[in-house]
Amino acid sequence: MRVLRAIAGAGLPFAVPEPLTPVMTFGDRAAAAISWIPGAGWPEGKGDPRGIGELLAGLRELPLTPELRTVLSVPRGWAGILADDVIPRLPEKWRDEGRRRLDRALALEPVEVALVHADLGAENVHWDGDGRLIGVLDWDLALAFDPALDAACMAWHGWDNIREAVDGTTFRRAQIWDALFGVEHLVAVLDGRPLANVGSYVEHIVAWLERNAE
């Protein structure tokens, strides 16, 4: 709720769910009412590059106020998790390639961090019937990081749409982040916490690698 309050009050050019009540507890459960965001997501592979570009620009250009910096996590430790816990467990044919992909990501030039949603695409981005952006839901993974990560997340709508929506440098960085075993898997380790089930994580990565090698 602290994250939602900070982001909702930061001045983004689209709607964000806002907490309407304090957090209430019911035994071992907790709940809070939040504002409703109308609209719907685009289906996989569909999208308007202009709308995607405006969304990504709105996130990238938002000033990171002291309040936002206080509530947003800053990725750390993820490279060590991949290098030490994940890549050695990959099938032999993927280990060297996995190291090369990690090296490419680590070699990216530093950029100014921005507000990154880290789970864009699917039903988390709502558009109206004319394709205009209304709002963005589900901010529980929000962090301060390379904005190209969000461009990689938006590849749900097709890489051709992303190529038209962002500049060449951002597009290249987005593809490097996604190549690191799939951006949805990368996001799971960005907080640097040890994986609860490394075996299952590796299985999902191998399936992604095999699927995208076809």
Pairing verdict, β 114-116 and 143-145 = antiparallel
Cα–Cα distance between 81 and 113 in angstroms, integer?
22
**For the purposes of burial, counting CB atoms within 10 Å of the CB of 185, is it exposed (0-12), middle (13-18) or buried (19 or more)?**
middle
Instruction: Write out the two tokens for 71.
Output: 């509530």
Residue 64 Cα to chain centre, angstroms: 17
Helix (H) or strand (E) holding 115: strand 114-116
Active site residue 119: yes
Dihedral-angle region of residue 197 (phi above 0 means left; psi in -120 to 50 means alpha; beta otherwise): beta
C-beta of residue 105 within 8 angstroms of C-beta of residue 78 = no
Which residue out of 28, 103, 119, 160 is catalytically annotated? 119
What residues pair up with 143 in beta bridges, in sequence order? 73, 116
Residues 6+ apart with CB under 8 A from 50: 165
H helical segments located in 116-182: 148-153, 159-165, 168-179
Instruction: Write out the two tokens for 82.
Output: 């991949």
Looking at the annotation, which residues are catalytic?
119
